[in-house]
Amino acid sequence: MQIRGLRLHHFRSYSQVLLTPPAGVTVLVGENGAGKTNLLEAVHLCCLGRSHRTSFDKEMIAQGQETSAVQLTVERNDGKHEVGVRLFENARKKKIIYVNGKTAGKMGELMGHATCVIFSPEDLALVKEGPQARRRFLDMLLSQQQRSYFYALQTYMGVLKQRNALLKTGDMRQLPAWDEQLALAAAPVVRLRREACRRLNDWAGQHYLYIGGKEDETFALQYESALTEAADPAEKMLQGLHASREEDLRRQYTTFGPHRDDVDLKLCGMPMKAFASQGQMRTAALSMKLAAFDLLTASQGEAPLLLLDDVLSELDPDRRRRLISRIGQAQALLTCTDPGDFIGACPACVLHVEKGHLHE
């Protein structure tokens, strides 16, 4: 997969810009606040319909503007794909998704046309923070891998919202019906997460050994869910909902199900969060992202876009060299503040970013 054109209109610090990066690695150099990350964010927005930095779309609109637009054209094995997103300052207006020149009726129609894996200093949250960060990682990866997962997750979350609303009323009469719907909706989410974690574990373990450079350090990840071992996740989910009904009514929300899942991370068999150093955590996070890259490559038959946001400066020279060697021939956008950070990356193009402008 290769970017043929990235066009921004009133997006963050950019009034108008067109980026046409060559194959290989394009390095974006500039001071903090120059707008380097904004370009990566625009690609991410076109791939997933959301930012990796903020939950508020209006923050991506240039100051003083009422609307913003991003358009991404990629060349894939099956031809060109064009996706776009328009955002509005007015909260009453919903963002508009475009796919190959037509307005998409659903967000899910965006998924899979352009795919990416982003590396950023915030990736440390995958290890250090709670289950939500790791669920988000899985959900965003699987939504790109197969559109059916995005719709399955949407269905589950919609039913969950309805069940939680019912719990707040204390009305037990409709609860069995919502339990059955939620159990059925949970099954595909669990199955796809479970299989993804199994494959991610193999790749992430290999990447950790290579990047870390220490054969006595082993990294493993495992899907952690009450439904992990269930032969029939829907049946097990229904049993769990029945068992937790009194607790759910007391708390007024659903306490059992895949919305509470986690990914268990271990270093040499010990909980990573409690025993790993900062460097080991960073290596684990990088390994998880590289494993995500492998999963998308294997399922699509071509590499996704790679976005590396000021990651190299966080690594020592050995880890930096090993990470760069893992990038391979994928098209990558790499940001840094110091030109010395990308030594060894063999960039095809180096662009300087200054106050929303690009120049060689």
- Give the Cα separation of 178 and 163 in Å (integer): 6
Residue spans per domain, the chain: 121-301
State residue 315's pLDDT score.
82
Sign of dihedral through CA atoms 305, 310, 311, 317?
Answer: positive
Using pLDDT thresholds of 50, 70 and 90, give the confidence band for residue 283: very high
Task: Tell me: pLDDT of 329 over 80.
Answer: no
Please give the mean pLDDT across all residues of the chain: 94
pLDDT in tens, 173-225: 899 999 999 999 999 999 999 999 999 999 999 999 999 888 899 999 999 99
Q: How confident is the model at residue 150 (pLDDT cuts 50, 70, 90)?
A: very high
In percent, the amount of the chain with pLDDT more than 90 equals 83
Residue 36 has pLDDT above 90, yes or no: yes
| DSSP letters spanning 10-64 | EETTEEEEEE---SSEEEEE--TTSSHHHHHHHHHHHHHSS-SS-S-GGGGBPTT
Tell me the average pLDDT across 130-135: 96
pLDDT tens, residue by residue, 312-324? 887 888 888 888 8
Alpha carbons 201 and 199: distance in angstroms, whole number: 5
Residue 344 has pLDDT above 80, yes or no: no
Q: What is the per-residue pLDDT for 347? A: 87
Supply the pTM of this predicted model. Answer: 0.94
What is the per-residue pLDDT for 333?
Answer: 95
Name the phi and psi angles at 17, rounded to 5. Answer: -155, 145
Q: Can you tell me the distance from the alpha carbon of 262 to that of 282, in angstroms, rounded to the nearest whole number?
A: 19
Residue 99 has pLDDT above 80, yes or no: yes
Give pLDDT, residue 323: 83
pLDDT tens readout for residues 242-253:
999 999 999 999
Q: With 80 as the cut, is the pLDDT of residue 140 above it?
A: yes
Q: Give the length of the chain.
A: 360
pLDDT number for residue 217:
94
Check pLDDT > 80 for residue 67. yes
Contacts of 176 (CB under 8 A, 6+ apart): none
* pLDDT value, residue 106: 92
pLDDT of residue 359: 87
CA 138 to chain centre: 7
Residue 121 has pLDDT above 90, yes or no: no
Q: Name the residue with higher pLDDT: 311 or 20.
A: 20
- Residue 199 confidence (pLDDT): 97
pLDDT > 80? residue 343:
no
Confidence category of residue 234, pLDDT binned at 50, 70, 90:
very high
Residue 114 has pLDDT above 90, yes or no: yes
Architecture of the domain made up of 121-301: Up-down Bundle (1.20)
At residue 306 the predicted structure's pLDDT band, cuts being 50, 70 and 90, is: very high
